[in-house]
Amino acid sequence: MDLTAPTVTGTRLPDSLCTHTPKCPTAASPDREAAHVMAAHPEQGWSLLCNGLVLFEDTGELLPDGRVIAPHRPLVATA
């Protein structure tokens, strides 16, 4: 059994760092935020998920391919 961490080549993360069973959602999945946290930095406001997604505390996201998902906060209902 190989317990070594996956290697990162260049500036791009592997498609998935997930070693969980069942596999976590991919970064392309609508439920991508449900992946396990691999590195948490709450003092800086971000976490790296095992699918390569960087999740920011303002709900913004950075996908492994460099695309940005703007923060998606719930809308406030008006009376």
Report which DSSP code applies to 75. P
Per-residue pLDDT of the chain (79 residues; tens, 9 = 90+): 344 444 443 344 455 567 788 888 989 999 999 999 999 999 999 999 999 999 999 999 999 999 999 998 777 766 6
**pLDDT score at 23:** 85
pTM exceeds 0.85, yes or no: no
The three-state secondary structure class of 34 is helix
**pLDDT score at 7:** 40
**pLDDT score at 16:** 53
**pLDDT score at 77:** 64
Domain residue ranges in the chain: 1-70
**pLDDT score at 18:** 75
**Adjacency order of strands within the sheet including 68-69:** 37-41, 46-49, 54-56, 61-62, 68-69
